[in-house]
Amino acid sequence: MDSDARMDIETFASLADLRGLTIENEDMRRRLHDGYCLLQLLLDQIPENIDAATDPALIFLANETKINR
């Protein structure tokens, strides 16, 4: 997949503004935009339709040990 196809840099700048980010200059905006596009590749891997019963708290039952996370 071409990550750069996700969002152009002008739209990205507006999104960054909405998220309250102060971006120092054009060079940093371009590099952050690169990172944003690559981030989408990670986010795309989150499985869809995880069972609603899957609570995020992770509990081990090793040696009757419980963990709060």
Partner 1 sequence: MTLLHNISMAEAVRMLLVGSIKPTELVETCLAQIEAHDSKLNAYITVCADEAREAAVKADQDIEQGLPRGLLHGIPVALKDIYDTAGILTTCHSKLFKTRVPDNDCDAWERMAADGAILLGKTGTHEFATGGPSFDLPWPPPRNPWNTEHIPAGSSSGSGAAVAAGMAYLAMGSDTGGSIRGPAGVNGLSGLKPSYGRLSRRGIFPLSWTQDHAGPLARTTEDCALAMQVLSGYDPKDPASVNTPVPDYMNIIKQPIKGMRIGWCKNWYEGEVDSSVENSLSDAAATLKDLGAEIVSLELPPLAEFHACGRIIILSESFAIHRQWLAKEPEVYGEFFRLRTRLGAFISADQYVDALRWRRLLATSMIKEMSEIDALLTANQNGPAETFKDSQQDYHFFGKPSLTMPANISGQPALTIRGGFAESGLPVGIQLIGQPFADADLLRLGHQFEQARPDLNAWPIL
Restricted to residues 31-60, the positions that interact with partner 1 (CB under 8 A) are 31-32, 34-36, 38-39, 41-43, 45-47, 50, 54-58, 60
Is 5 an interacting residue with respect to partner 1 (CB under 8 A)?
no
Burial of 33 (0-12, 13-18, 19+ CB in 10 A): buried
Rg (CA), the chain: 19
Is 4 an interacting residue with respect to partner 1 (CB under 8 A)?
no
Closest approach of partner 1 to the CB of residue 9, in Å: 14
Residues in the interface with partner 1 (CB under 8 A) total 36
CA distance 11 to 27: 16
CA distance 62 to 69: 15
Q: Which amino acid, 15? A: L
* Interface with partner 1 (CB under 8 A): 15-16, 19-24, 28, 31-32, 34-36, 38-39, 41-43, 45-47, 50, 54-58, 60, 62-63, 65-69
